[in-house]
Amino acid sequence: MNSARVQVTVCFLICILLIGIMQHWSGATAAGFTAYPDEASHYLGGLMVRDYLRTGSMAPRPFAVNYYLHLPFFAIGYWPPLFYIAEGLWMSVFGYGRGQVLLFLAVIGALIATTIFAVARDRLGTAGAFCCAMLFLVIPDVLANNFDVMTDTAVALFSLWSVLALARYFKEATYRNAILFGVFASCTIMTKYSGGFLVLLPPFGLLLGRRWDLLRRGSFWIQPVVVAILCGPWTVYTKEFVNTGYASYIKASMFIEVLSYIKLWSVEFGLVLSILLFGAWIYQAVGLAKADSLTQLLWIHPVAVLLFQSIAPVGVETRYLVPALAPLVLLLAFSLARLPKWYAPALLAMTVAGYSAVSLPQSRREPDGVRCVVEAIIANPNIKQSLIYVPADEEGLMIAEFAMQDSKRPIRILARPNKLLAAMDWNGNDYVSDYQRPEDLQRYFEENPPDLVILHPRPAKLQFPHERLLETTVRQNSACWKLAIQTCGHDVYQFIGTRKPGDRGMTPGFRHRIGRRFEVQ
């Protein structure tokens, strides 16, 4: 094994070790799925794939529908499947606890950092390249993705590899390099549709490099064919879910969106890192026409991400720009390579040290606040728990916690008040409560009796109307509801009202409502 491969291997091992240490130090391994609403969904999507691979008792779609009926907090279909397939395979080998899943995210983060090291090493030297890898790992949004179950770093990894493959194609226009770009681009898109920004790279690359000769090559046109073959079937199969949840979202103008992203980016980076990264991007722009293909494509990459996200039907959040961070760090490495030998490593090392001191303390995670509730319910054999309503403000994290605690799944139906007792989109818009009076909601429960309802008392001003109504209904009907467990700020009520003979919790009315409200058809 040559010295370059040894250094790359050592860099990867150091990175994954450091990320693992930071995960443990921050409390991420013992935290709940509270960092972002999507986190529980990304965990449950992978868990479903893992359970399907272990059982395989039915076709994939019926299995997913049944799984969603019991654990209704994942969105495979709205989101593409690659991340969940990889996560499910990882769970099959290493386990499905939060710590094991975060190790999967640590591998992804370490692969990005190691790729940065491998690319920067030839221009900046071993020490400078390693500092660039470390700098990437301490950027706040990267830390967040290493500490939470999110997909943004997976998009960043595949998009970075796509850029490297496309640069190889521009240097040597072979079918092999063209197919390699098509495969990596497809992996990016099948991880998250925001990876669609990669369609901008080949035409912009042609323009900057004036490589019009490539348009006459069949290998250039094989790239979109590969993407269409690998992404087309899933996209067509799940087209019904395209607007799920975001139909009411209204975007500002592209110009306003781009300015908003740059402003948020600058705030997150702080003054020093903003000067370094944006300064490097501007510096490389000066001689871009004469730069090599890799530099040109790395320069285009953040622009493509910004333009794509400015028209995507999502809010302005810096996590969507995570894929642009590795190219910016590499442009910084290329720019600093012109300094005297040890100036660049010294500057980068000081920056890494400073950002570690600032970012890491702000990245600590709170302990899991619902695990004790879930454990208390599961540990009580005297409580029937086939159908449980989880708290409206903790739907995802509590469903994920139940799933993680169970050795076999699915064994209980976890109902979401936000879907069963009200209607709204994923942004909380177009809100309508199905019930206005406690007696009407109580009648619904008597006709469709649950086993347990978990309440999480909090100020009324923070609750939706149906949350307040649910709490009022349960507490004022003591003849039908019994306080069974009270722990960790949660009240678990058991339904003790009259049940119809043979009732198992899944009444026709409940099944109809679940089919109407959950996106499983």
455 CA to centre of own chain: 28
What does the pLDDT average to over 448-455?
93
State pTM to two decimals. 0.93
Name the DSSP letter for residue 216. G
d(CA 521, CA 518): 8
With CA atoms as reference, report the closest residue to 18 among 100, 82, 103.
103
- Per-residue pLDDT tens over the stretch 202-213: 999 999 999 999
pLDDT score at 520: 38
| pLDDT for the residue 463 | 87
How far is residue 142's CA from residue 136's CA, in Å, rounded to a whole number?
Answer: 7
Residue with tokens 């026709």: 508
Residue with tokens 């119809």: 500
Written as six digits, the tokens of 394 are 């903790």
Residue 518 or 353, more confident: 353
Q: How confident is the model at residue 519 (pLDDT cuts 50, 70, 90)?
A: very low
Q: Using CA atoms, how far apart are residues 267 and 324, in angstroms rounded to an integer?
A: 16
Taking a C-beta distance cutoff of 8 angstroms, is the pair 225, 407 a contact?
no
pLDDT one-digit tens code per residue, 254-313: 778 888 888 888 888 888 889 999 999 999 999 898 999 999 999 999 999 999 988 877
Longest dimension (CA), the chain: 84
> What is the reported pLDDT for 2?
75
Enclosing H/E stretch for 252: none
| Closest C-alpha to 146, from 104, 193, 100 | 104
The encoded tokens of residue 330 equal 């590499």
- What is the signed CA dihedral for 354, 355, 361, 366, rounded to 10 degrees? -170
CB atoms within 10 A of CB 520: 15
Question: Is the Cβ–Cβ distance between 209 and 202 less than 8 Å?
Answer: no
pLDDT band at 518; cut points 50, 70, 90: very low
Name residue, tokens 């949840």.
245
User: When comparing pLDDT for 358 and 109, which is higher?
Assistant: 109
| Residue-level length of the chain | 521
